[in-house]
Chains A and B, each alone.
Chain A
Amino acid sequence: MRHARAFWLFVGPFALGLAVFVYLPIGWSVLLSFFDARNTVTPSTFVGFDNYADMLTDGPFLRSLGTFSLFALFVVPLTFVLSLALALLVNGIRFMRAFFRSVFFLPFACSYVVASLVWKLSIFNGVRFGLANTVLAWFGADPVAWTVSTSPPWYWLVLVTLRLWLQLGFYLLLFIAGLQRIPQVLYEAAWVDGARPGWQTLRFITLPQLRTTSVAVLLLLLIGAYQAFDEFYNVLGNGPFGRPPLVYLYYTALGSGGQDFGHGTAGAVILSLLIAGVTLAQGRVFTR
């Protein structure tokens, strides 16, 4: 009894907040997703699985899931490989190591909004005097309309480089922490056994020892890509192309053209199940 009171004294405030701001919304949204809920959150017209059927038949939501998959396909492996490579480089030096680590981590101080500003208006602004087009001109290439070009879809280059710049430093820190946990003894033993530092030690010591870090990084990257919103919203707006699921849900449920909570919450439920599924599957595959 004394324990019960102490327990709720500590955990009570959080448990209450969790119930009101996490579990109540989830429950409410599952409920709303079965109703025709336009401009109301207390709907009366039960429609069964119609909202889900609408979202899962060919249309903007399915296309936006496709958009996400494509985005993840590029940005996850690229960030993984580049942040690991930079971490190996930074970890292998002594002089100025802290300096380089700080420089690569500095973009983390920028919001996606600020990065979108730089990418959209200064680097990839599509006019001849933009930075990217100036560089192209040095090589005699024609200027490219980066953010509005769909064939070829150059806007992917804009969005992938933006995310790379912003998040590389975060994963770099994770990899450096992982590298520093590897016991030095392993490298010394390998040296005695005749393994030369370089490819061999990387392949047989470093990468296997980084397994836990790698799983965590992959998972965070994938979940992060699922939730892409800020840079797409700010660089592309509500355009007909390059629209990730969250941007579509935002305009469906909260856009100026009417608040369609039924379809919006059905989409949110589908997306949540998808993310939870990926998390579980990846955890299972990699921790085996």
Chain B
Amino acid sequence: MKALRYLALSVSAVIFLVPFYLIVRNGLALESEITATSWTLFPREIHWENFAELFNDPAVPLLKSMTNSLVVAVLQTAGTLLICSLAGYGLARIPYRFANVVFYAVVATLMIPAAVTFVPTFVVVSTLGWVSNLRGLVIPGLFSGFTVFLFRQYFLNFPRELEEAARIDGLAHWGTFWRIVVPNSLGFFAALGVITFVTSWNQFLWPLVIAQDQDAWTVQVALSTFLTAQSLNVHELFLAAAVSITPLIIVFVALQRFLVRGVTETGIKG
């Protein structure tokens, strides 16, 4: 029975890893080998020089688009954590007459996924003149009602005694939040931060809509453009894909604990 479990898991694991293998295999093979009439599992030899070819190809703005993706993902992660944690704390802890109204306005947005409103959001952002620039890529994504909701739930369960001790020491809400609450919540911040970073790095529809000039492309837009136009050698495209997922593989290995927590926190909302 145990052996059967392990057999089923191992077979599934191999199937799950095949696409990763294909990315690397195709990226480091000769074009003629990928398009050969018979399929080979292992390439005859590994062509490391494909890296030099990819990074020296003036037609492929890989470094530029990777940099864009990195800047967008870092700014979006930092901005979302800052803005949404403040809002979540305010809604959880500061008694105010209209707090309920604001909270219902936040909850109502949970019903409408951001992807569906990309057309109207584009209309607003283009009116602001933010097409093809960093502001347009980063700022509209910072206001996640869902993240505020999660922070509020978390702060509602934060031990009140700690905050009251700070109050006695003369700290107001602002000081309490930064000196007591945040330092004691770093795990939660890390969990939501990692998942925000991964989502931001992999997002496609909004950058496709807003990054119309090549200089503003994120790495997903660059890959998609070459894929749909079929304007690039297959091995180059696969190697670019391999390079594009490397930062996330590093995040997965180094921060898996927070990532798993982030997934379970965001996946199940009460």
- Chain A residues proximal to chain B, CB less than 8 Å: 3-4, 6-7, 9-11, 13-15, 17-18, 20-26, 28-29, 32, 41, 86, 89-90, 92-93, 96, 100, 102-123, 128-131, 134, 165, 169-171, 173-174, 177-178, 212-213, 216-217, 220, 223, 226-227, 229-230, 233-234, 237, 246, 249-250, 253-254, 261, 264-265, 268, 271-272, 275-276, 279-280
CB of B39 within 8 Å of the partner chain: yes
B residues 156-188 touching A (CB-CB < 8 Å): 172-174, 177
Q: Which listed residue (B99, B117, B234) contacts A25, Cβ 8 A?
A: B117
Known: A11-B91, A114-B245, A254-B119. A165 touches B267 (CB 8 A): no
Most interface-central of A7, A123, A217, A254 (chain B CB within 10 A): A7
Measured CA separation A220–B264 after assembly (Å):
13
Besides A100-B13, A217-B267, 13 more A-B contacts (Cβ < 8 Å) are A9-B174, A10-B86, A10-B173, A13-B87, A14-B87, A15-B87, A21-B124, A114-B223, A131-B18, A173-B264, A246-B118, A265-B123, A268-B119
CB of B6 within 8 Å of the partner chain: yes
Most interface-central of A169, A212, A230, A279 (chain B CB within 10 A): A230
Question: Shortest CB–CB separation between residue B262 and chain A, in angstroms?
Answer: 10
CB of B83 within 8 Å of the partner chain: yes
Known: A117-B223, A170-B267. A108 touches B116 (CB 8 A): no
Find out whether the CB atom of B174 lies under 8 angstroms from the CB atom of A109: no
Known: A32-B123, A129-B38, A173-B264. A111 touches B173 (CB 8 A): no
Measured CA separation A3–B23 after assembly (Å):
56
Measured CA separation A283–B252 after assembly (Å):
33
CB of B26 within 8 Å of the partner chain: yes
Find out whether the CB atom of A109 lies under 8 angstroms from the CB atom of B123: no
Nearest A residue to B260 via CB reads: A173
Chain A residues within 8 Å of B143, by CB: 14, 17-18, 21-22
Known: A129-B36, A131-B39, A230-B205. A89 touches B5 (CB 8 A): yes
